[in-house]
Amino acid sequence: MKEIRILYLYPDMLELYGDYGNLQVLKYRMEKRDIQVIIDRYSIGDPKPDFLSYDLIFAGGGADNEQSILAKDLLQYEEEIKEAVRQKVFFLLICGAYQLFGKYYKGVEGNIIPGLAIFDYYTEASTDRTKRCIGNIVIEVNIGEKQTKVIGFENHGGQTHGITTPFGKVLFGNGNQFKDTQEGFFLPHVIATYLHGPLLAKNPEIADYVISTCLTRKYEEKMDLLKLDDELEEKCRKQLLVRFIPVEKQ
Ligand code: GLN
């Protein structure tokens, strides 16, 4: 039986707007394909995880306060996490976690939260506390040789700069900065995005991309995933898309 091992970082501090749902979706879609899923959790005070023993590392969003508390803990694993990225362990990072993998996050008060600096983008919060990128968002992504629309929800004050390989092009909503054209950061084995929602429940194609990328790396062969019945997900997506984007522009 094939097996995928997932590490969930700081589940008690980084979990907003159903971020954990992403792991539930991955687990459901893998178990339907007879793939065993192991989800381990790590948070402050737990023994050091063996990052390289995982196929996927996941972390969700969190408020500035949580980010500043856990940044110190996270930074002690800088080398191990860098190595995992180098060895192409899959990273799925939402919002607050996305920001912490960059150089730094500068909060509303000007306080700097150092990031892992694994990628060279950086994030600075809008100095006006009342101004945040909040609401539904739709982006267009090219993933796994396909183009698809990804639907989510964003809520961040942070404005991310220095992205050269975005996750997607904004069709509706804000993105990396207010009224931006770009959203997130992407490498074939890294999806770092502001999209909560949870991302993978609303976008099963992205979930399957994550699964097949993890399997291909682990088992060193390209595998076709059994097609699942996504009729309900597709109906839901259609409804959401007509709400956000005029039909003629879809
Ligand atoms: N604290 C960050 C911001 O407001 C991240 C928020 C989040 O993870 N939703 O930019």
Contact 105/95 with Cβ under 8 angstroms?
Answer: no
Averaged in consecutive runs of 10 residues, what is the pLDDT profile of the chain (250 residues)? 97 96 98 98 98 98 96 98 98 98 96 97 93 97 94 98 98 98 98 97 97 97 92 97 88
Task: Name 9's Cβ contacts closer than 8 Å, sequence gap at least 6.
Answer: 42, 43, 57, 58, 59, 74, 97
The contacts of residue 240 (CB under 8 Å, 6+ apart) are 136, 138, 151, 202
Token pair listed for 31: 């178990």
Atom of ligand 1 nearest to the CA of 132: 4
pLDDT at residue 57 in the model:
99
- pLDDT recorded at residue 181: 98
Q: Is 189 known to be catalytic?
A: no
Give the domain CATH number at 41: 3.40.50.880
How many domains does the chain fold into?
1
The answer to whether residue 236 is catalytic is no
CB atoms within 10 A of CB 7: 21
Residue 39 confidence (pLDDT): 98
CA angle, 156 as apex, 204 and 69 as ends, to 5°? Answer: 100
Residue 224: per-residue pLDDT = 87
> Could you read off the pLDDT of 40-49 as tens digits, one per residue?
999 999 999 9
Which of 95, 100, 101, 193 gets mutated to test ligand 1 (max ligand atoms within 8 A of its CB)? 95
Residues listed for the chain: 250
Please give all residues whose beta carbon lies within 6 A of any atom in ligand 1, as ranges: 16, 61-64, 67, 95-96, 125, 155-158
- What is the rounded CA–CA span in Å between residue 60 and residue 214? 19
Q: How far apart are CA 168 and CA 184, in angstroms?
A: 7
**pLDDT score, position 246:** 84
* pLDDT of amino acid 235: 97
Domain that holds residue 36: 3-249
What is the value of pTM for the model shown?
0.97
Ligand 1 atom with minimal separation from the 63 CA: 1
CA distances for 160 relative to 56, 150, 154, 176, 208, angstroms: 24, 19, 13, 5, 27
Q: Which residue reads 């992407």 in tokens?
A: 186
pLDDT of residue 63: 94
Given the residues 133, 156, 189, 196, the one annotated as active site: 196
Which phi and psi (to 5°) does residue 228 adopt?
Answer: -105, 160
**Neighbour order of strands in the sheet with 56-59:** 35-42, 2-9, 56-59, 90-94, 190-193, 185-187
pLDDT score recorded for residue 222: 84
Using CA positions, which residue lies closest to atom 5 of ligand 1?
96
| pLDDT value of residue 129 | 87
